[in-house]
Amino acid sequence: MEKTFAIIKPDAVEARNAGKILARMEAEGFRVVAMKGHRISKAEAEGFYAEHAGKGFFGALVSYMTSGPVFVAVLERENAVAHWRAVMGATNPANADEGTIRKEFGQSIERNAAHGSANAADAAREVTFFFSQAELLSS
Ligand code: UDP
Ligand code: MG
């Protein structure tokens, strides 16, 4: 079993799509190991997306991710990292396949409804960034 880290981003929460995205997580066979509402701070957004610091979209990304509440989550299943990326679809909703979360709910390359870790090392870092060990539900 593998874990990945997900965010239901501010645009999806604002549009009242959080429940549909949570239902999709479970329908895809993920166990929701943890989930909580959170208002991401500027410092958290800058740290979380440190790999993108200096890029042209960084300032706008930080503003967007701090613009409203999100749900952060830890998801578990076989091949969790790759499977959640596939369910989300391409970063730009315009390029995302039919049936993916970003195709269905994303509004733009920035406001794209969901986050998923890129690889297992990032997943471990991102889970720890937002959750304590005590918040992860045992099965
Ligand atoms: N993003 C953006 N403009 C871009 C690329 C990315 O606003 O040209 C935002 C978008 O919200 C994306 C996030 O920055 O989800 C992180 O970018 P990354 O390339 O890591 O994409 P992801 O891993 O989320 O698919
Ligand atoms: Mg990424």
34 CA to centre of ligand 1 in angstroms: 23
Helix (H, G, I), strand (E, B) or coil at 38: strand
**CATH number of the domain that 28 lies in?**
3.30.70.141
Supply the residue whose CA is at minimum distance from atom 9 of ligand 1. 110
Domain around 50: 2-135
133 class by beta-carbon count within 10 Å (0-12 exposed, 13-18 middle, 19+ buried)? exposed
**109 C-beta closer than 6 A to ligand 1:** yes
**115 C-beta closer than 6 A to ligand 1:** yes
Q: Report which residue type is found at 108.
A: S
User: How do residues 53-96 score in pLDDT, each as one tens digit?
Assistant: 999 999 999 999 999 999 999 999 999 999 999 999 999 999 99
User: How do residues 31-49 score in pLDDT, each as one tens digit?
Assistant: 999 999 999 999 999 999 9
Is 115 among the catalytic positions? yes
Integer angstrom CA distances of residue 19 from 42, 71, 85, 98, 127: 26, 10, 19, 20, 21
pLDDT at 139: 79
**61 C-beta closer than 6 A to ligand 1:** yes
Evaluate if pTM is beyond 0.85: yes
Counted domains in the chain:
1
Residues 6+ apart with CB under 8 A from 127: 3, 5, 74, 136
